[in-house]
């Protein structure tokens, strides 16, 4: 199926490539500025994305040396610690699994949470 589709798309892509090249060729009757103004959107986009500078990956100017940070510093500056003390906090989530009195709750963060079933409104 994929081979058949690629065979069907090949003439279409060839046509589009030739059409873009036709728009890129300068005409004798107009200057380069006028040619840029008359060029269509597809021709401009095709020229932009086939430009060798665009296709080659850019090299970083200088690699920054990695800072040797301690685990305690990384943990202190993490988003998890910036949330604050979870004791007494009220959050909303979705219970996706129940095992005995344990509720597995998805809050939308990185890890789900396991909490004890509340005594009130336990259903």
How does pLDDT run across 30-75, given as a tens digit for each residue? 445 455 667 788 888 888 777 777 667 666 665 556 677 888 888 8
Q: Which residues contact 27 (CB under 8 A, 6 or more apart)?
A: 35
Q: What percent of the chain has pLDDT over 70?
A: 57
Residue 2 pLDDT class (50, 70, 90 cuts): very low
Mean confidence (pLDDT) of the chain: 71
* Token code pair at residue 61: 């100017």
Q: Please state the separation of Cα 120 from the chain's center in Å.
A: 43
In the chain the beta strands, taken as DSSP E runs, fall at 94-99, 102-106, 113-116
3-class secondary-structure state, position 99: strand
- 1 pLDDT tier (thresholds 50, 70, 90): very low
Say how many C-beta atoms besides its own lie within 10 A of residue 43's C-beta: 19
pLDDT band at 6 (very low <50, low <70, confident <90, very high): very low
pLDDT given for residue 16 in this prediction: 58
* Residue 116 phi, psi (nearest 5): -80, 145
pLDDT in tens, 78-89: 877 777 777 777
């Amino acid at each position: 199926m994929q081979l058949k589709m690629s065979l069907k798309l090949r003439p279409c892509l060839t046509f589009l490539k030739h059409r873009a090249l036709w728009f890129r060729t300068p005409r004798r009757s107009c200057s380069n500025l006028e040619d840029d103004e008359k060029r269509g959107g597809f021709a401009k986009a095709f020229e932009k994305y086939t430009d060798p500078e665009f296709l080659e990956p850019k090299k970083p100017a200088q690699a920054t040396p990695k800072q040797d940070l301690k685990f305690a510093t990384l943990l202190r500056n993490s988003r998890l610690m910036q949330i604050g003390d979870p004791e007494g906090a009220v959050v909303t989530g979705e219970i996706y699994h129940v095992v005995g009195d344990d509720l597995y709750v998805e809050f939308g963060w990185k890890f789900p949470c396991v909490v004890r079933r509340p005594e009130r409104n336990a259903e």
